[in-house]
Amino acid sequence: MTLTSGPSARGRLGRVALGLVLALGLGACAGSAGVGTLDTRPRSYKPADYEKVRRRWTAAKKVRKGFDLALQARASLLAWDLRAATIARLAAVRDWTQAELERERTRHLEEVVQWNDFIVVTRAHEYSWANIADDREKTWTIGLVSADGRVARPTLVRKLRKTAETSMLYPESDEDWSYLFLVRFPVALDGRPLVDAAAGGKLTLRFAGAPGRLDLTFAAAPGR
């Protein structure tokens, strides 16, 4: 994954154009994802299953500051369920061999037991508000909140380069004034998992700052 840079600010014309795009192209966004399980049992997904599974693990919401869009965020939790569907989709596109397929599965299984990873697509009137990876501006404090109120901070927030594959997997990232990020949190905090894969529970991805506050909720059913 490659870091990219963006424009320093949006002019008045860009702000007006973005407002028109948002007014014409976006409906109300739900702040909660669907319900799936976090267990790592094998999945048998076909490439066509990807979008259905992604909807299950994706939440979106927007917050305004006056007439400006302070932040619109669409986040996908990379649970093993979504990773398995993504692997099936990419295997068909890349024509992976069985060995390559197994190598990808192993890599993703190793990641998912260590990290709560999110792919986040943002939009905002101000670039500094949309660029959640900018350590200089620090517009947003990002946290992952467990059901019992513990808050984990990201170990990594990385801006991702847009490619043909990211457009395929996250088509909203291809829209004007949108930016794509990987946000990574630990699986456990204070020696306890933020959410128990066996028991299920909720996680809230939170963005808090002067422009406003935005919460995205992900619910997991008890594992099988």
- 71: which strand partners? 63
User: Quick one: pLDDT at residue 156?
Assistant: 97
- Is 5 buried (19+), middle (13-18) or exposed (0-12) by CB count in 10 A? exposed
Give yes or no for residue 34 having a pLDDT over 80.
no
pLDDT single digits (tens) 192-216 = 999 998 889 999 999 999 999 999 9
Give yes or no for residue 16 having a pLDDT over 80.
no
User: What value does the mean pLDDT take over residues 101-128?
Assistant: 96
- pLDDT tier for residue 33 given thresholds of 50, 70 and 90: confident
Beta strand 212-221 with 32-37: parallel, antiparallel or unpaired? parallel
- pLDDT tier for residue 96 given thresholds of 50, 70 and 90: very high
Angstrom CA distances, 45 to 86, 91, 132, stand at 9, 11, 32
User: What value does the mean pLDDT take over residues 61-90?
Assistant: 97
- pLDDT tier for residue 30 given thresholds of 50, 70 and 90: low
Identify the weakest region by mean pLDDT among 33-47, 79-93, 144-158: 33-47
- pLDDT tier for residue 136 given thresholds of 50, 70 and 90: confident
User: Quick one: pLDDT at residue 137?
Assistant: 83
Cβ distance 129 to 179 under 8 Å?
no
Residue type, 70: A
Distance CA 202, CA 145 (A): 9
Beta strands in the chain (DSSP E): 32-37, 58-65, 68-77, 115-123, 141-146, 151-152, 156-159, 178-186, 188-189, 192-193, 201-209, 212-221
User: Quick one: pLDDT at residue 223?
Assistant: 79
- 3-state DSSP call for residue 138? coil
Paired tokens of 24 = 């014409």
